[in-house]
Amino acid sequence: MKTFTDKVAAITGAGSGMGRSLALELARRGAHLALSDIDDASVAFTAAACRDFGVHVTARRLDVSDRDAVFAWASETAEMHGKVNFIFNNAGVSLSVPVATARLEDIEWLMNINFWGVVHGTQAFLPYLTASGEGHVVNTSSLFGIVAMPTQSAYNASKFAVRGFTEALRMELDLAGSPVTATCVHPGGVATNIVHTSRIDDSITTLTGMDAQTHRRRANKLIDVTSADAAARQILAGVSHNARRVLVGADARRVDKLARLLGASYQALVVWFYRRTAVARKPRATAADAARYE
């Protein structure tokens, strides 16, 4: 699909971050939009900004973990816009906790949004994408869908699952000779609100030497590599060229190469790095500390 002009794109998580930037960039290119987000006010703000480009925009609150609601939104989108050409399954959340102390309800919360939200969106929109004669499923995985990290087991599981799901879908569509195709997106550090809204368990201190607030500050620095606007442009460039995989940001490309070069050995490198930084964060003993044991 070489152009977005007069196409109809549905986007989840459109209230902020990459979702909002994708919506604005698509509107700038002449695409009509169906926007959704769990936050009413934020998606309404995005919709108003997109309408300034003279395109047809609809917006609604949506919990992507609610299968019936997603299917209802897909039907509503097709009815209100007349067709649907793209579904960007972009909504996502994060969770930082060691496996040993992770609560099942937190893992289920994350999987219901990050993975099942993608499944719901894909299945709900596929019939309408097929009917359009030119459709595209764009699913957001992560750099953490390529490599794993300590305390990120649930997030890794969801993003690896999105990657496998999307790659299998792409092959099925190719085999069927479908007018629909699929792309898996792997953002590296993109400046969004995901860390601010993430769940971070204090038990990570035992592994990382950081409390929850320190972890959040460090994570915010790590994701501040690529702006959401630049990420949106890179994603749309990949989609327009029908790429099977889009690596967003120089950090994502570097880590992908490193993972392919090292294979499973990258895990030992990560463990070494965490141990080294944990030791560096330990406070040095002072003379007063030593005196307590004299």
pLDDT digits 0-9 by tens, 168-223: 999 999 999 999 999 999 998 775 555 455 656 666 656 555 555 544 445 444 44
In this predicted structure, which of 124-138, 220-234, 247-261 has the lowest mean pLDDT? Answer: 220-234
Residue ranges per structural domain of the chain: 8-280
Q: What's the count of helices (H) and strands (E) in the chain, helices before strands?
A: 12, 9
pLDDT, position 288? 43
Q: Specify the pLDDT at position 193.
A: 56
**Mean pLDDT on 83-102:** 94
Nearest-angstrom CA–CA distance, 3 and 240? 7
Mean pLDDT of the chain: 87
d(CA 132, CA 69) in angstroms, rounded, equals 22
pLDDT on residue 276: 79
Catalytic residue among 155, 266, 274, 293: 155
Q: Give the residue with greater pLDDT, 273 vs 137.
A: 137
Q: What is the mean pLDDT of residues 75-82?
A: 98
Q: Of 151, 48, 50, 27, whose CA–CA distance to 100 is shortest?
A: 151
Q: Report helix angle 40-51 to 17-28, nearest 10.
A: 20
Q: What is the pLDDT of residue 140?
A: 97
What does the alpha-carbon distance between residue 231 and residue 263 come to, in Å, rounded to a whole number?
Answer: 27
CA distance 62 to 173: 27
128 is catalytic: no
Quick check: helix, strand or coil at residue 175?
Answer: helix
CB atoms within 10 A of CB 176: 10
Quickly list DSSP for 113-160.
HHTHHHHHHHHHHHHHHHHHTSEEEEEE--GGGTS--TT-HHHHHHHH
The region of weakest confidence among 22-26, 49-53, 86-90, 285-289 is 285-289
Amino acid at 58: T
CB count within 10 Å of CB 139 equals 26
Indicate if the pLDDT at residue 2 is higher than 80: no
| The pLDDT of residue 55 | 98
CATH class of 8-280: alpha beta
Q: For 153-169, how does the pLDDT look when each residue is reduced to its tens digit (9 = 90+)?
A: 999 999 999 999 999 99
Q: Within a 13 Å sphere around the CA of 63, how many CA atoms are in the beta-carbon half?
A: 8
